[in-house]
Amino acid sequence: CAPDEYCDRTSKGLRDKDDATEDLFPMSIPFKSGFQVGMKLEAIDPLNLASICVATIMKVLNDGYLMISIDFYNSTPKDWFCYHCTSASIMPAGFCEAHGINLKPPQNSITPFVWKDYLVSSNSIAAPEHLFDTEVPDHGFKCGMKLECTDLMNPHLICVATIARTAGRLIEVHFDGWENDFNQWLDCCSSDIFPVGWCELVGYKLEGPIKQLAQEHRPSKHKKKKPKKNLRAPAKKVTAPPLVVHTKVPTSCYTSVDVCQ
Ligand code: MLZ
C-alpha cells in the first residue's frame, strides 16, 4: 500500500496479514531503561560520526529506544534520532573529558565547556552513569592498527583505514588519505569493521587511500574547511589481528544502526 496509507493503519494499530509479527523482533518488547526526558548525555552524531556531542533525551519509547537531539543544533522533532538505550553510541556526561576527546558543546556555550555549569544553567540533570552499558570488552584494538571499514555515510564503500584512537569500547577509525572530518567513532563490536584482507576474501571492491593530488583538489566534507595537505604523520603499520574482529557480534554489542541480538 502507499506510504501514507501504511502510516495511517500502523498508527491505528491495524496489522496486515503480510506484516512480520512483533514476536519476531526481540528488541520491540517493553523495556524499562531508566532514561528520562530532559536528561543530558554525550552521543555520537549519527550524521557526522567524527563528532561526539552534548545531547538531550527528547522522548523515551517503551521498547528501550530513545529519541535524542544534539544541543548544538536548534533541532526540531524531525531532526531527532533514535538510539537504543544499550547502544555504544551514547555515553554519560564526562566520557569525552575522561578520554581526552573534544566534545561538541551546545551552541553559544561558554568556553571551555563545563558540564556542571551547563547542567545548572540549563536546569537539567545528566543521565546517571549506571544507565549506560559501560562494559568494555577486552577488544585488543590499538591506535595505528590497519583495518577495512565501511564508510557509513557512503555505505557501499569499504575503505582502507587506521585506528586513530580508542576510548572505552569505542574506536575512532580514520580513512587513509582522507581528512579527519571523515573519521568515524564505532563500537569495537561493530559489524562494519573488518580485518585486512576481508574485501579480497569475499570479492568486494576495497577503496584504497586516495592519492594526495586528488585529495588536494576535491571538496572537503565540510565546505568551509580547506583540505589538509598532510593528514597525519605516517603511522607505523600495525595490522589488527583478525581474531579481535567479531564476525558474530556478541549479544551485548549494539551499534547505532544495527541492534544485534
Ligand atoms: N562522494 C564523497 C565520497 C567520500 C568517500 C570517503 N570515504 C572515506 C566525496 O568524494 O567526497
- CA angle (42 as vertex; 249, 171 as ends), nearest 5: 40
Q: What Cα–Cα distance (Å) separates residue 192 from each residue in 13, 185, 237?
A: 34, 11, 21
Q: Calculate mean pLDDT across residues 70-90.
A: 94
Q: Given this model, what pLDDT does residue 215 score?
A: 56
Percent of the chain at pLDDT > 90 equals: 63
Report how far residue 46's alpha carbon sits from residue 68's, in angstroms, rounded to the nearest whole number: 11
Q: What Cα–Cα distance (Å) separates residue 253 from each residue in 1, 68, 85, 112, 136?
A: 35, 20, 12, 33, 10
Please choose from 157, 206, 220 the residue to mutate so as to test ligand 1's pocket, defined by most ligand atoms within 8 A of CB: 157
Instruction: Calculate the average pLDDT of the chain.
Output: 83
Higher pLDDT, 260 or 183: 183
Higher pLDDT, 260 or 106: 106
Report how far residue 114's alpha carbon sits from residue 40's, in angstroms, rounded to the nearest whole number: 13
Ligand 1 binding residues, C-beta < 6 A = 151, 154, 157, 159, 175, 178, 182, 218
pLDDT grade for 119, boundaries at 50, 70 and 90? very high
Please choose from 49, 151, 173, 179 the residue to mutate so as to test ligand 1's pocket, defined by most ligand atoms within 8 A of CB: 151
Measured in Å, residue 194 CA sits from the centre of ligand 1 at 19
The predicted-structure confidence for 208-258, as pLDDT tens digits, reads as follows 998 755 555 665 666 544 434 333 333 344 455 443 333 333 333 333 333
Q: Given this model, what pLDDT does residue 150 score?
A: 98
Q: Calculate mean pLDDT across residues 54-83.
A: 94
Q: What is the pTM of this model?
A: 0.79
Question: Does 71 score more than 60 pLDDT?
Answer: yes
ipTM: 0.94
Beta bridge partners of 239: 146
Measured in Å, residue 162 CA sits from the centre of ligand 1 at 16
Q: Given this model, what pLDDT does residue 21 score?
A: 85
Question: Does 28 score more than 80 pLDDT?
Answer: no
DSSP designation for 134: -
